[in-house]
Structure 1
């Protein structure tokens, strides 16, 4: 049985370009994969046929030979120097599928770089993290902060190339600049980092004496950071290009500043709102009055305490909380009253309180209600 035309196998016109060939093969590979066609006995043979066609047409030299001589280009040893197809066997599938896999995932995994799949040796520098603790007042108002970071910067002696005296890195002879080497193991093609260049794709024969070929040196640098008003613990600020310098002229990474806001002796933060517990005397809580409370901006506000206030009662000061990080109305400040019991009483104070207690049996609604419930509970237990 004569072989089908490779262009017909992939469903494309003769003379199709590399992108069209690759797109057609990917579609066929998904459509005909045996795992998706368990009920079609012909799928496996068609799958291998598509692999064989792609193995030839993806390669410019093989494709040129096929366009001129057809299948005869790979018969009787013809075209063997170009590594012609071997009847659609396992080697063809591994090579063809590996090529498509590289195309789909190579860039994401860092496996490709530069034209023709070669790596230039340049790699992006690592991102850095800096933890910055600030006070709640600074989080409210915002501030300009200078920080010192130890990082890798481009070597000034070799301008980041890693090579001495203006010489240039050379393409690695082992991997031809790919940074990876492949080995055939049965059905699979195994890809490993090149042992000669450690995945860089380049080697340096005459290394810079300052950075010893790394292209980078460690250095402390000071940076001015703008902390906007409204930040909270966990807020992340990104300084683009302030991370580690790239390798062999690659772009620098970023610096991420993570904010942690210290606890405050007066205020407790919950989102945009602030809470402040204010102790008041029994007399003020009972008779009512006015108290002065601090605000986070350093000011003062006077608050009226209603007559008969109990511990836990809250009053709201609108707009006296934290500002919104990305604009919008500020939060509120909640005043929570704590009725304070006096200590170290004098004899006269004790006498007055005992007299007051006798006269106030009817002035404690919560106590009366509680003990009425207790009495009802005990009565029910007896019955």
Structure 2
């Protein structure tokens, strides 16, 4: 009698996974349905070796005393004990155990819908209405799929089990396999009198209006998940989830930088020199902005707590105002006289530019760093 390890082509230290893989590889090529009846004895020999080596107790007995030890220890090498399901799975991809009927109702699909909001809505948050096209439970049959006064009938092909059995004759004897019933699709019942409104689906397409709460601080492209507000499943099954993708519209005056609102403010040259108080319209209403005397272009002023609301927090960012100083380009003769007079008073009748020394320039600092 050949050695079981040699029959399967594995070493004596092989793991259970290696033994299983080796058996499946050989069995697929030696099975009589594939290789013909001439390979039946060889297939039976491979199967007997696998039945012993795949069982830890039988393998231990075999390693100690060979085939006779296994036989005397309780079970011949040619039997199909605990490993029959592995053999069945290898060739039929199923199980000998019958499955129950599959529920007709299934979970519906998730839905994704876009919504556009203004920047002010992203700043403070908003609750808005959203109308979507979705699948809802059929009101006529309430998801039963059958016409009023009717109900699903038991499938005669499977007797309501949702599965059918098939017996196959082989050299090993009769082998029984179980598969889903093709008549009722595994549900165990058949819709003999379907609802006319939903055509036996248990759901219909319709428009639905929802209230969506968009929190303050939400950013462009973010999604809000609404559990159980998606499409109803077949046969009135549970709803999927709804995802609302938020898009924030462009604002003509304010831009967003993180949690800050940023705007540009142009002021006259005289206001920058003398200082003044200016009023701007913000999302919170009029805001007074103090311009200090001698303010130069490029300065940014910050109004605390007047920016965008921070997501899932109660505080807000800031309102940032970038100052730009207007330089007059068209002057009347009187304006020119006044500016000349000012220049004479300040000793600027022949203005001279001041060169910045290399030691203090930004360029020199970069050169020093690269050195």
The bucket for the TM-score relative to the shorter chain is: 0.5 to 0.7
Structure 1 residues 162, 73: closer, same or farther in 2, change over 3 A?
A: farther
Deviations 1:37-68 (A, max 9, x none): xxxxxxx99994489669xxxxxxxxxxxxxx
CA distance in 1, matches of 2:197, 2:253: 53
Q: 2:105 aligns with which of 109, 119, 122?
A: 122
Structure 1 residues 150, 193: closer, same or farther in 2, change over 3 A?
A: farther
Aligned length: 292
Structure 1 residues 217, 265: closer, same or farther in 2, change over 3 A?
A: same
CA distance in 2, matches of 1:238, 1:292: 40
CA distance in 2, matches of 1:32, 1:361: 99
1:167 alignment partner in structure 2: 151
Q: CA RMSD in A?
A: 4.7
2:193 alignment partner in structure 1: 206
1:311 alignment partner in structure 2: 297
1:155 equivalent to 2:141? Answer no
TM-score for both structures, normalised by structure 1: 0.61
CA distance in 1, matches of 2:350, 2:84: 101
C-alpha displacement of 1:230? 2.7
Moved more, 228-237 or 192-201: 192-201
2:283 alignment partner in structure 1: 296
CA distance in 2, matches of 1:139, 1:267: 12
Structure 2 unaligned blocks of 5 or more: 5-14, 23-45, 57-73, 167-178, 364-371
Larger of the two Rg values belongs to structure: 2
CA distance in 1, matches of 2:151, 2:230: 27
SS in 1 for 2:235: coil
CA distance in 2, matches of 1:297, 1:278: 17
Structure 1 residues 125, 92: closer, same or farther in 2, change over 3 A?
A: closer
| Residues 29, 50 of structure 1: 8 Å contact kept | no
C-alpha displacement of 1:295? 2.6
Structure 1 unaligned blocks of 5 or more: 5-27, 36-43, 55-69, 100-114, 182-191, 378-383
Structure 1 residues 306, 178: closer, same or farther in 2, change over 3 A?
A: farther
C-alpha displacement of 1:296? 1.7
SS in 1 for 2:323: strand
| Residues 29, 47 of structure 1: 8 Å contact kept | no
Deviations 1:90-128 (A, max 9, x none): x553557x77xxxxxxxxxxxxxxx94642122111122
TM-score for both structures, normalised by structure 2: 0.62
2:170 alignment partner in structure 1: none
CA distance in 2, matches of 1:251, 1:339: 62
- Structure that is richer in helix per residue: 1
